[in-house]
Amino acid sequence: MPTTRLEGRRTHHRAWRIHSAIAIALLAGVVVSGCDQGPAQKTGQKIDRALDRLSGKGPVEKAGERIDKAVEELKK
């Protein structure tokens, strides 16, 4: 229990900020869950496609190379 009027205001302000943060997080979760892909995921996919165009290799070729390297290391 706050002993002074100032402490009461601080406690009330702190509680209000916490409740506001929780409400914003819940609202953001509802908004994001309604989308198939979020903005970060879309951006990540665009970057992946651009890198694939630059390297000339897709994810399957890259995975195959990693497997080949792992097999070579096990043979040694």
Report pLDDT for 70: 92
* pTM, to two decimals: 0.35
- How far apart, in whole angstroms, are the C-alpha atoms of residue 41 and residue 32? 11
Look at phi and psi of residue 56 and say left if phi exceeds 0, alpha if psi is from -120 to 50, else beta.
left
Contact yes or no for 44/51 (Cβ under 8 A): no
For residue range 20-72, list pLDDT tens digits in order.
888 888 887 776 666 677 788 888 888 888 877 776 777 788 888 899 999 99
Tell me the two tokens of residue 8: 């009461």
